[in-house]
């Protein structure tokens, strides 16, 4: 997959009405004849109309290149020496009412390098199309059916796209979750012949943006990772509150603290440097009366980045909640040593009703005064 000439040139051509299609230009350090192996899925959720694209590639930062989505209009994936003008131009043509097959024919028909392009489109009605130029590097191909288009190039075999289709149809949950399930299945079936590097997922929903503003419901990218799909899955789970930390907090609210503690222990074993999970587990251990374990978990959390002032501030609060006043004050002192401006945060904490640091008001005020 290659980076084309500046998108601004492509957009200028669209607006100005010229027919010249920008030639694919190499990414810095990447030869022109190296497209980067890629597979993607473009889909629509018939239940709520969500539209999305998910992609994985042996290419740095695939997210800004392949997926193009607009709520109520459609979704486009452009890859294999990607012509990024296909994204905005394809959405514009869908907006005019053209069917995906017509859009694909229009885009590729005007492109002198169509034989090296690959394209997947799904519109807001669930109509779809996929295109693979005869010059794409094998294995290359795709499939298209209602609500779905899957395509890939430089794959181990056709099994990748078939597995993606099956996994998407069988998966449940949010469209983003189903899309990442398809990527996982594609990778398991063989995936890219050259390996893996980046992945991305974009989903549009009317009013689905932050605080109901905009339509960008999900926009997650992994630019460079040894296992980008796994990392993308982790991000998707965080986005929908299904990660271990979110689930543990839910268990704690349901008074299943011991179950939550065990869940976080397993998550931390997989990711020892996950400070947020360690702090949350320490808080729960204190709540359960297991103060020695809680103190050890606090120390381990702080150790993930001992020069980070906020780590020491969190430690002070959790230790105070556990009644370990001396240790809490020591962490408060470290916070202020690292950043005297944290005096403001401590003052706010002292005014919060129920904040455990309130019991140490006198000592903390002395620490602040000594700055």
127 and 25 belong to one structural domain: yes
- Pick the last residue of a domain from 239, 258, 283: 239
275 and 230 belong to one structural domain: no
CATH number of the domain where residue 155 is located = 3.60.20.10
Q: Residue 173: count other Cβ atoms within 10 Å of its Cβ.
A: 12
With a cut of 80, say whether residue 144 has pLDDT above it.
Answer: yes
154 and 68 belong to one structural domain: yes
Quick check: 24 and 3 in contact, CB under 8 A?
Answer: yes
224 and 275 belong to one structural domain: no
Of the candidates 251, 228, 201, which has an alpha carbon nearest to the alpha carbon of residue 77? 201
100 and 157 belong to one structural domain: yes
73 and 100 belong to one structural domain: yes
The predicted-structure confidence for 201-250, as pLDDT tens digits, reads as follows 999 999 999 888 899 999 999 999 999 999 999 999 889 888 899 999 99
What integer pLDDT is reported at residue 134 of this predicted model? 96
- Pick the last residue of a domain from 214, 239, 264: 239
Range with lowest mean pLDDT among 21-25, 63-67, 141-145, 207-211: 21-25
Range with lowest mean pLDDT among 21-30, 215-224, 267-276, 327-336: 21-30
What is the domain count for the chain?
2
- Pick the last residue of a domain from 239, 265, 290: 239
229 and 312 belong to one structural domain: no
Q: Residue 6: count other Cβ atoms within 10 Å of its Cβ.
A: 12
190 and 101 belong to one structural domain: yes
Dist. CA 127–CA 145, nearest whole Å: 7
Range(s) of the domain holding residue 308: 244-369
57 and 205 belong to one structural domain: yes
Dist. CA 366–CA 287, nearest whole Å: 28
222 and 251 belong to one structural domain: no
205 and 268 belong to one structural domain: no
């Amino acid at each position: 997959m290659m980076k084309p000439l500046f998108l601004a040139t492509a957009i200028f051509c669209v607006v100005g009405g010229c027919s010249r299609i920008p030639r694919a230009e190499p990414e810095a350090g990447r030869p022109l004849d190296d497209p980067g192996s890629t597979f993607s899925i473009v889909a629509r959720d018939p239940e709520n109309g969500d539209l999305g694209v998910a992609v994985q590639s042996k290419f740095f930062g695939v997210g800004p290149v392949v997926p193009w989505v607009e709520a109520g209009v459609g979704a486009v994936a452009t890859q294999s020496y990607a012509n990024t003008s296909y994204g905005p131009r394809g959405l514009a043509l869908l907006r005019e009412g053209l069917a995906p097959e017509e859009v694909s024919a229009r885009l590729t028909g005007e492109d002198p390098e169509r034989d090296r392009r690959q394209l997947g489109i799904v519109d807001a009605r669930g109509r779809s199309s996929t295109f693979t130029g005869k010059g794409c590097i094998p294995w290359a191909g795709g499939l298209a059916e209602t609500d779905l288009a899957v395509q890939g190039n430089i794959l181990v075999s056709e099994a990748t796209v078939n597995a993606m289709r099956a996994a998407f149809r069988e998966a449940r949950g949010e469209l983003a979750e189903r899309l990442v399930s398809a990527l996982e299945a594609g990778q398991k079936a063989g995936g890219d012949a050259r390996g893996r590097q980046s992945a991305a997922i974009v989903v549009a929903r009317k009013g689905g943006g932050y605080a109901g503003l905009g339509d960008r419901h999900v926009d997650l990218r992994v630019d460079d990772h040894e296992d980008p799909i796994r990392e993308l899955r982790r991000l998707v789970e965080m986005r929908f509150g299904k990660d271990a930390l979110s689930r543990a907090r839910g268990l704690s609210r349901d008074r299943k603290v011991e179950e939550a503690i065990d869940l976080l222990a397993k998550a931390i074993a997989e990711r020892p440097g996950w400070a947020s999970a360690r702090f949350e587990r320490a808080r729960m251990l204190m709540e359960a009366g297991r103060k020695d374990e809680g103190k050890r978990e606090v120390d381990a959390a702080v150790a993930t980045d001992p020069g980070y002032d906020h780590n020491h501030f969190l430690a002070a609060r959790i230790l105070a909640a556990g009644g370990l006043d001396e240790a809490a004050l020591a962490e408060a002192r470290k916070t202020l040593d690292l950043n005297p401006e944290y005096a403001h945060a401590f003052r706010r904490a002292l005014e919060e009703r129920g904040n455990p640091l309130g019991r140490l008001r006198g000592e903390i005020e002395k620490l602040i005064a000594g700055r």
